[in-house]
Structure 1
């Protein structure tokens, strides 16, 4: 059973290594497909008996470190479009700050999750269909600043969603999957950093055993995910992203109903 007592906070027992495995698997998925760190990690932690509030705070804090290493890995492998990066990272950070403040002090962000998931379910199906057609790269995409802001805002409010919202829209509009995943992953560091700062200010955190385990596993997996994103073919990445989005959306809608 999980315990957050001070005496057990730094004990390297079997539960710590469970957190390491959870962080590794979640970051491997996120680094390869550009999304799903939050929901993968949170789902694994909840199944291991971690309380929801502790899981959410731990995931957000660990994500700052794992996205940092993931972003550096994607930069090293030239998976990042620098122009695209700035156009989504800055408004995304602003949206994350506002969203984190609202969910910390004003209202419960969980109520909007089913609506976001319904939208993403449609996007996921479209990406699956498009993956069977020729992939045509496009340089220009529309409303990047708005997309970044909405992605950061909903990510902070809903406890995740930056990757699914931003990556799926960019791929849908014609950006190559490898470039999209690398750029969105790198920008996610700033989104996670600013939202976590707000969460720490309003909510605080003391689940360092969970956080350090997630960071350890996530940092180890980050370079592997970046390499996988670079090596896998565009159509395969698009299909994988679409299927993952459909799976996550159906699961979230199901949990909200039942």
Structure 2
């Protein structure tokens, strides 16, 4: 493997993990796209991305635990289901030709979830309360499968949990990072059993991605705990919408200018969402009449 490609993988891992560690998504998507762009077979690219995600997910999860960003009941359910989904995804990708985890219906639904999160964050609305863990298992199953096939663990797990779990956004991101390590481990077991040769072909690139991601993970976890909850929610929603808009448009032959215009419009909406509502000037309370003094 040429040193330039390994250096590019290191840089991609570093930058994408900075985003992933803060917003809970980005590393797997970038890794899979980079490896596929180099001409690797889908199963090889997926196996290498899963290998890198195991390392970065483990380091990132440890950092999130250190900063108190993990809700363990959610993380355990999410990760256990993610491991099962990852194993199934690795088997399916090894056995079925032309498999694609993204479907128009799923992409459209998750794009809508991302839009709702962006709206909530822009309005400063972050529903908190007693955590709900009921959605963790189905979300982990779908996210693990999507992560094994196309590196899409975060774009599935994070927006769904932010929408329904009532956890603080930083704890959603941390719990998803902890679950990602288990999901990637399940996928690796599947690739090792059903396509062992895929784990050897692109190992230098996987190592470059993993080292770059491991370097960035602690700082990203620290930063996730310091961003305002509303801003973190809005940013995660915008990123999820962008990822799923890209997946939705992948099978549509749109002119380049129109596709670029859609993403520019999304970027503008994202900027407005991150800016948030304008602070309102406090209203002057009506003057109350002075109480009459009692006559002596």
- If the length of structure 2 is used for normalisation, what is the TM-score? 0.77
Query: How far apart, in 1, do the equivalents of 2:113 and 2:131 lie?
Result: 19
Paired residues of 1:79 and 1:183 also in contact (CA < 8 A): yes
2:126 to 135, 153, 160: 135
What is the count of residue pairs matched by the alignment? 246
What does the per-residue CA deviation read over 1:208-253, in whole Å, with 9 as the maximum and x for residues that have no partner?
2211111111110111110111111111110100110111111122
Shift of residue 15, structure 1, vs aligned partner? 2.6
Deviation at 1:30, TM superposition (A): 1.0
Partner of 1:247: 242
The match for 2:57 is 67
**Of residues 218, 234, 237 in structure 1, which corresponds to 2:229?**
234
User: Contact 2:49–2:151 (CA<8 Å) still a contact in 1?
Assistant: no
Mapped partners of 2:139, 2:207: distance in 1: 32
User: CA-to-partner distance for each residue in 1:147-175, whole Å, 9 max, x for gaps?
Assistant: 2223223333x413322222111111122
- Are 1:194 and 2:186 matched, yes or no? yes
Match of 1:32 among 13, 22, 45: 22
Q: What SS does the aligned partner of 1:257 have?
A: coil
- Give yes or no for the alignment of 1:146 onto 2:138: yes
Aligned match for 1:225, one of 204, 210, 220: 220
Question: How far is 1:52 from its partner?
Answer: 4.9
Question: Aligned partners of 1:207 and 1:90: how far apart in 2?
Answer: 27
Structure 2, unaligned stretches of length 5 or more? 254-296
- Using CA pairs under 8 Å that are at least 6 residues apart, name the structure with larger relative contact order, 1 or 2: 1
CA RMSD, Structure 1 to Structure 2 (Å): 1.9
Higher helix fraction: Structure 1 or Structure 2?
Answer: 1
1:164 matched to which residue of 2?
155
- Higher mean C-alpha deviation, range 196-205 or range 106-115: 106-115
Say if 2:46 is the partner of 1:51. Answer: no
Whether the 8 Å contact between 1:22 and 1:45 is mirrored in structure 2 is no
Give the alignment's TM-score, normalised by structure 1: 0.87
Determine the structure 2 residue equivalent to 1:76.
Answer: 66
